[in-house]
Amino acid sequence: MGFLMDVIRTNAVDDHPFLSLSHCINRKQKHMTCSACMEICPRGVYDRTQKTPPKWNECQNCGLCVTACPSRCIAPSPSNAKRHLMMAEKTGRVVLSCGRAGNGAGHEEACLALLPWEFLAYLALGGRLILNLKPCRECPHEECLDTLEEQLYQLKCFLGEDAYAAHVQACFDDLPAEQEEGVSRREFLRAMAHGGQKATALVVNDLVGEAVDAMIYRRLLASRVHELARKNRDFSCRMALPWISDACFGCGICALLCPNGAMEIGGEEDGKRPVYITPYKCTGCGVCEAVCRDGCIEEIGMMNLPHMNRLVLSRVASRSCAGCGRAISPSGQETLCIACRQKKKK
């Protein structure tokens, strides 16, 4: 990863990503262990024992950890976030090039793997995204290629095959000339983005002046999806969300341990409890599946969604504890939850 050190200028000590430990998978539960940030970091900033804070004085502000984190608990540095948000204000044809290209084409990043798929999706839905992947043919850094491949896969899953083909062009050879784009396609893309540009521009302007958090790219994408869905009823996106089986009764352990608070269990009414989810907060990290004590979350699967805001994921059969009101299984004979039964015994 030496090229990253050559392309990225050394930043001030306080200009680095920010790790939110309260959202870290390893701090929320012990059923699964994540080491994505440690494995991708070229400078060994993150401690593998997780007993000492990151060595930010060693950080070169490349941003690979931000993209690699499955729960998005690492926020980009202020300088990177501001640069990306200023880029996000542009609409229409956006060209992204690897810094190794050295031809000054479009917006250059030290490595395209530094850009999360959520940000790529935001740019693609604003017009047409062209990725200059020519230098990737000779890139010796497999970890960067693997990360980029994963981000493009997630981008294609989110947009779907047809929208991906219409909005994204990956170029492994010379970049296409701007005039080669057909008028009909340009009009189509303009119609897709109509009505959302002004609103999302306001969101961008607001975010530039705010403190940067780890969900900044997700909130940005959600704002554009909201505007597109409001203008076009046929608009949809695909996201990885948990599949809940009929065995679930809404105990709430998944909502309690979700790193970003994406899940929420509603109150019992007529023997049913709604399970809510906010898709833009759900990163598909798999924590809910790992911590479910009854195996009620079968997998994290793709779902077609009209938007990324809060919605009802499922309505599960449930009863309320006679003592505290917590959810208990409707199939059991007990009227009290385990905690209340233990208190009663004492």
Tens digit of each residue's pLDDT (9 = 90 or more) over 37-83: 999 998 999 987 777 889 999 999 989 999 999 999 999 998 899 88
Which has more confidence, 185 or 26? 26
Structure tokens, 114: 């530094």
Residue type, 309: N
Could you tell me the pTM of the whole model? 0.83
- Specify the pLDDT at position 178: 54
- Give helix 216-231 / helix 117-125 axis angle, nearest 10°: 30
- Spatial distance between the Cα atoms of 133 and 106, rounded to a whole number of angstroms: 13
Cβ count within 10 A of residue 33? 9
Tens digit of each residue's pLDDT (9 = 90 or more) over 190-227: 444 443 444 444 455 555 445 578 899 999 999 999 99
- Given the DSSP bridges, would you call strands 237-244 and 297-305 parallel, antiparallel or unpaired? antiparallel
Tens digit of each residue's pLDDT (9 = 90 or more) over 295-311: 999 888 899 999 999 99
- Specify the pLDDT at position 182: 34
**Alpha carbon 209 to its chain's center:** 22
